[in-house]
Structure 1
């Protein structure tokens, strides 16, 4: 009894302490001494007993408790895998330097020794984390903004703790960046021969800038070459260094107009000829054995397919496109809906010969732009007018809302896939933004080529981790250990060794389609996408309701479910939660769209593949942009985001030709281009389906007039959109039924 009472007293004291406000008087951010003193005092006053070990370390450092901080960070490094300690090692050297009489000299010598003792892969990862993805400017601005936004003379404990942690990041990285940048770059010169001054002419007179990297000490005169073709000039050298460290020539070619090229910058448009000519140039060099392989993700995945548009160069032996963008298919629009992300991307890649990070990270500009556009209701093609900037690429994109010749000229089209006869490894993720692009290439290749030598590797990865190495968790979901592949450093180079050097095929590729089944710690391997499933769960919409949910039924019915959307209303948005982040949540917005729920599943199943279906509907207009989201409602009451589809009704049957709907006439809208996934759904779960109309500030607004969507404005929204869904509408989930079946 006494012990329980004591615990309650201590708990009350803890709450009182946590709720206590701390005095705060702003100093000038330029006054580094006054700012450091203030942050030290805040760190001393903060209640940190419930913070994580790494946050405890941060407070020890800011308080000036350097010996304790050093002990803490050494312990953390011992507990962390070597390939995940790049930041932690900076922290350790920083603390050690703080304990010395000469901070800069001590940190420089220690980091120099650290880099020299590291192997090639370690230093490449240092470059990736600390230089290519340099976080310093963000940390500085994040602290400065948070600090400047405090207007009161007292702040809460949570605010103070947040401020100290941000100050830690700003301080450590801004004081060390110049040093570790220099040490890493100097070490590259020790390990590699880098020729970054090559410019080669294209047949039409344009120029392409080339970087060739070779490992010092590797004496073989002629080697196979790993090529990365990229618009992201200045960020891919580590990819070439990795190739060189693995025993290959590493080559980077940049989109015409980038780096040293004097041509005009033309994203997407010329890769179908330029990359082929770069491969031809490589094959004729004295250091080439006439074997070229390509890999890379996103835009760098697209360039690999583009190189084979007209024919496959004889020297190109294999490609590994990861999360590959397919122009006109999933970028800049998805299922013919143009998203506004591409608006800012254009400035990022075309403002200069390298990359304009300042423009791309001007989040205030982009948020203000999309919010202003949404609130004012002006036409989508007026974004550049609102922005006050000329956006030539954007103006071009909006002139091609269908999959027309502008897009078709960039990558293989239909029968052009038939001639692609080299081994290919496609890699993507269930939560990859470009999964539909990657799968478009995979599906079209299998559709038109006879028995293509094309493998697929897909797991619970996003756009970044499917190109590199997944972390333990993705958007709050803890991955199975089986999913934690080192994709870039191991799987890809095992594949290159297999194709180029006749070594063993990567062990993970046991069949043509290889996918990790979430929540089973297991991979499945099948000869085709069709073989992923042995059954289908089919649900039909109905007007019956249980509490706030409509009911999903197993059979078609005579229900009619009505929905209305007022596009004049700019106080709210709809379909704003279709993007899966986080993957698992306690609740979803039950007022956003029509929410349908199934009965509980009686057996465990695995959802394998892309859900599909048809919506039988009538609208009072000529078109609508709609979405379908599928969740698993777990037995514990959690909503797990499985997959989604977003599309334009008028392009549902043909992405190349718009077919408007007849107002108030029922029609069937089929869809089958949703995100592929594999996940165990345990018995007792329910399937939740959200049907919605797209009305938010992230993409075009389709008012349904039948005019070009980019030209429609809020003036076209006088009459609300009204939809009637019939109970014949269906959602089909492809599954692997576990009863009596093995993986």
Structure 2
């Protein structure tokens, strides 16, 4: 089916139909489709229909009106620039170059390829390095898919007599896209390389030795026309992709820095063994030292990057090299806390990652992309009942890195050495900007860095920027408008790369602080469509309310009560670990918004409806009172908003092991039959406006699913337990003086 563009049409425009050209009564040939586009153009020029200038430019290109298309595109670009949206104007560069080349070909008889080169050089010759860097991005496209989409649309026309205006405009967009990007794909790479050669000095094969004797390789890019010493923007990564490295380094050089990308130990030109996480404190520090001492460096280094690279920036900060002036980590990982285990539970969500980064000196994408293999592995292992330590035997391929990690089920000295730990944070006196998302599965790591930095250094200059993004969206220039079923507020859009370099400019070049950073904590309130700021996480919450896990029934759930129970009752639950047909209640939000939420496992608690709008901003915590017949168990608490119309939106969740609840580094087993208090706090931050009539819904459950270790409760190392330990089910009682502490505040009036 033809894709309908997402525009708001008047009723008459939507109803407008255009007859499809025919040839000898048969199917529509591609060359004849321009007749349809001619009719659409004529209808606009006569005032019969209206549609955006962008669609008009596509129609002009598709019908060969290339000089007219140039004028339309120029007007579009001027409008976007005047509106402060110059980045959106960049996407028109391939169309502008193409239209200009076609106009030169038809007007002057210049061969198209020659004309294209002239048009490209003229356009790019008038742009600065940063604008050129942005525009180059749009010369790449999935051309095979675009052609297939266009071919499908043309075939669709063979069976119908007319099309609506939106469908005609969508076809024109596809048609113009293919025309412009066929030329861009064929001619663009050589012209871009020529342009970049004139702009940059590129050095791909630097190799240097660390103080520990390891070798690391680096890519360095500098602006050719500005040879003076400059600050260094350094990215340290295990995701070795030379093409990507060059683009990242050129982007930094285009913004006035020396762009440096360093490969982790054992990657690319390094001959050492690949062991993720274990040497980055030394190696990232060595990279800072090396970059600061080069003749093109002014001696100052700023590190940035997401996920692993965010972790590496923190690893470098642990050493505190005098040249390291700031770090900008996004969705930064903490080995041993967010992956490969979370709150002491090993999880399989990223099982294949070890093969991806460690199978060779670049990336083993073929293995990592075997999604069905990894999904099937989780299910096979779970159904087999084998110990988690044998999951790689179930797969049939040894996973030595996983086996190495499984030797450390506590957050012990092995993990502690990889990033700043406790008092290490007191010595980190450089400005820091952390960026993460409410739905980043590794958010607890990014937030832990932020909390610990302020815990041990109250006067730290550390800013947090957070909104409705997942792990990849928080790192991206453009955030997906619909995330796992939730449409983000328009104001939530921002360019992570732009903010990164604005921050580097602020710290290293005396520039203004990024506009979004008005307080130490900067967060987008979902549903309110606004950014707010606060001096701390606690201040963002504006207070908290304790909700107790009542035994009173409330419409298919139990009551989540603001009143502490006058008398304590017990809520019983039994979990049969030998049963592999039922799973625990889900934890990661996909989708984020559901039409309803049947709770098939665990205990659910719902609050009374709010009689006025409230906001939840921050992390929830709690303390559970429980008694079990075993020595240990794993549990999850998932927090939702139930809207007045019955839809349910996931807000946050906690996942953890009871025996490590008070100290992730020390396991304290439970006494069977004895009551114990289990505090928890490492939950995901969220900010959401809850409208009048909404309620909070919390689901408490014992963890039992294919994505996590199964804790059978024997007290032995959980990695060695198996279904043989499931003879006796887990019997658990929850006391009704257990509570959740939720950062709720009355919504301020508009």
TM-score by length of 2: 0.79
CA displacement 1:33-70 (0-9 Å, x = unmatched): xxxx9x99xx9xxxxxxxxx99xx9xx99xxx975999
Counterpart CA distance in 1 for 2:195 and 2:334 is 37
State the distance in 1 between where 2:186 and 2:735 align.
Answer: 63
SS at the partner of 1:431? coil
How far apart are 1:106 and its partner, in Å? 10
Partner of 1:701: 710
Instruction: From 260, 276, 289, give the equivalent of 1:251.
Output: 260
Q: Which residue of 1 aligns with 2:626?
A: 617
Q: CA deviation at 1:125?
A: 5.0
Question: What secondary structure, in the 3-state scheme, does the structure 1 residue paired with 2:298 have?
Answer: strand
Aligned to 1:24: none
Structure 1 residue 127: Cα displacement: 6.9
Q: Does structure 2 retain, via aligned residues, the 8 Å contact 1:623–1:703?
A: yes
Contact 2:93/2:135 (8 A) holds in 1: no
Query: Using a 3 Å threshold, how does the CA distance of structure 1 residues 95 and 643 change in structure 2: closer, same or farther?
Result: farther
Is the alpha carbon distance of 1:258 and 1:594 closer, same or farther for their aligned partners in structure 2, counting shifts above 3 Å? same
- Secondary structure of the corresponding residue to residue 339 of structure 2: coil
Residues 549 and 88 of structure 1, relative CA distance in 2, 3 Å threshold? farther
- Change in CA separation of 1:591 and 1:215 when aligned onto 2, cut-off 3 Å: same
Aligned residue number for residue 581 of structure 2: 571
Cα offset for 1:210? 1.0
Which deviates more, 108-117 or 645-654?
Answer: 108-117
After superposition, the C-alpha distances for 1:192-235 in whole angstroms (9 at most, x for unaligned) are 2110110001122210001111122224x111111111111133
Aligned residue for 1:418, secondary structure, equals helix
Cα distance change of structure 1 residues 544 and 352 upon mapping to structure 2, 3 Å threshold? same
Distance 2:529 2:641 in 1: 19
Is 2:563 the counterpart of 1:555?
yes
Secondary structure of 2:428's match?
coil
| 1:661 paired residue among 664, 667, 670 | 670
- Using a 3 Å threshold, how does the CA distance of structure 1 residues 175 and 396 change in structure 2: closer, same or farther? farther
Aligned match of 2:218: 210
TM-aligned CA distance change 1:575 to 1:590, over 3 Å: closer
Out of 563, 583, 587, the position equivalent to 2:596 is 587
Aligned to 1:525: 533
Deviation per CA, 1:525-574: give whole Å up to 9, x if none.
22222222332222111222233212212223323222222222222322
The aligned counterpart of 1:344 is 352
Deviations along 1:233-287, one digit per CA (max 9) or x if unpaired, are: 1333322212111111111111011111111112111110111122111221111
Answering whether residue 673 of structure 2 is matched by residue 670 of structure 1, we say no
3-state SS in 2 of match to 1:446: helix
Q: Which residue of 300, 311, 318 corresponds with 1:302?
A: 311
Residue 542 of structure 1: SS of its match in structure 2?
strand
1:697-736 equivalences in 2 (<5 Å): 697-736=706-745
The answer on whether the counterparts of 2:236 and 2:309 sit within 8 Å (CA) in structure 1 is yes
The residue that corresponds to 2:291 in the other structure is 282
Which runs of no fewer than 5 residues in structure 1 stay unpaired? 1-36, 44-52, 144-163
Kindly state the Cα deviation for residue 339 of structure 1 after the two structures are TM-superposed: 1.2
For residue 400 of structure 1, give the secondary structure of its aligned residue in structure 2: coil
SS at match of 1:499: helix
Q: Which of residues 197, 210, 223 is equivalent to 1:189?
A: 197
Give the whole-Å Cα distance in 2 for the aligned partners of 1:347 and 1:103.
Answer: 47
Partner-residue secondary structure (3-state), 1:307: helix
Q: CA RMSD in A?
A: 4.1
Residue 111 of structure 1: how far off its partner (Å)? 8.2
The correspondence of residues 351-366 of structure 1 with structure 2, limited to 5 A, is 351-366=359-374
What displacement does 1:82 show? 6.8
Kept in 2, the 8 Å contact 1:548–1:590? The answer is no
Aligned with 1:461 (options 466, 469, 490) = 469
Give the unaligned 5+ runs of structure 2: 1-26, 34-50, 150-170
Mapped partners of 1:699, 1:175: distance in 2: 49
Name which of structure 1's ranges 554-563 and 318-327 shifts more when overlaid on structure 2: 554-563
Question: Paired residue for 1:8?
Answer: none
**1:423 Cα deviation (Å)?**
1.2
Aligned to 1:49: none
Q: Which residue of 2 aligns with 1:222?
A: 229
| Alpha-carbon contact 1:566-1:721 (below 8 Å) kept | yes
Question: How many angstroms apart in 1 are the aligned matches of 2:560 and 2:718?
Answer: 32
The aligned length equals 664
| Residue of 334, 337, 342 corresponding to 1:334 | 342
Give the 3-state SS of the residue equivalent to 1:346 in structure 2. Answer: helix
Q: Deviations over 1:82-106 (max 9, x none)?
A: 74688998899999999x9999999
Note the C-alpha offset of 1:671: 0.7
CA shift for structure 1 position 182: 5.6
2: distance between equivalents of 1:87 and 1:494? 22
Secondary structure of the corresponding residue to residue 341 of structure 1:
coil
Contact kept, 8 Å, 2:661 with 2:680, in 1: the verdict is yes
Q: Which moved more, 1:113-122 or 1:408-417?
A: 113-122
Rounded to whole Å, the distance in 1 between the matches of 2:143 and 2:268 is 24
CA apart distance, 1:611:
0.4
